[in-house]
Amino acid sequence: MNWSWEIFFSYVTNGLMLQGAWTTVWLSVISMALGLGLGVLAAMMKMYGNRTLRWTAEFYIWLFRGTPVLIQLVIIYTGLPQLGIRLTVIESAILGLALNEGAYLAEIIRSGIMSVDKGQTDASRAVGMTWRQRMWLVILPQATRTIIPPLGNQFNGMLKTTSLASVISMEELMRMAQMLAQTQFRVLEAYTCAALWYLILVSIWSVIQVRIEARYEKPFGPDEAVSFDAKKARRAAFRKSKPVKEA
């Protein structure tokens, strides 16, 4: 078996590998943030826009969900220059990943908004709330509980999807593993090291995601006030139920 633990552990702490892991993290965060913005915009256009806006949102979602992200990255980086639009590797990677992610997040956000009971919208409209107030104060806070879990899973996937950006020479984790493998021709050690780093990043995010989901599963409003009122009510009921001693 031609395996070297010494080379493997040297790759784990190699400067190129650490740089690639950091690039994967910030590339994922930026692409996810931009994709979330695009997803919210597309979801609102599809649900509340006029016919032109709805068709535009539906076409965007259909196009980027129906084609592989790898092809989208290649077209953006190598195809757009033929139309006079030249982007750097970083710009192409962020744009391609954000556009693809936004299409998926649009459907997640739309389904989360639709999961809110229609009575909530009717009640908020009855008390005179504007559309913006209804969305910001009533619908979105409740929809967030439904949106957060799949949103976290999408970021989990984004951490690994960034590896496709290596095709356009983006120096993220996968690209750095390729460079190390070509240097000493230790392919198995280099790619196993990359897999280990992806596993570490995903595991760290899984812990963060669990905490975020636990935070949004709590009831709205201050828990302390609710607990105090509940205890006060129980004490009052207990005093009323106690028999009165005769003199």
The 8-class DSSP code of residue 2 comes to: -
pLDDT means over runs of 10, the chain (247 residues): 86 93 97 96 93 96 96 95 94 97 95 87 84 85 89 95 94 93 89 96 95 78 48 54 47
The full set of domains in the chain, from first to last, is 5-241 (1.10.3720.10)
Three-state DSSP class for residue 244:
coil
Q: Are 93 and 170 in contact (CB under 8 A)?
A: yes
- Give just the sign of the alpha carbon dihedral 168, 173, 179, 182: negative
What pLDDT does 103 receive? Answer: 96
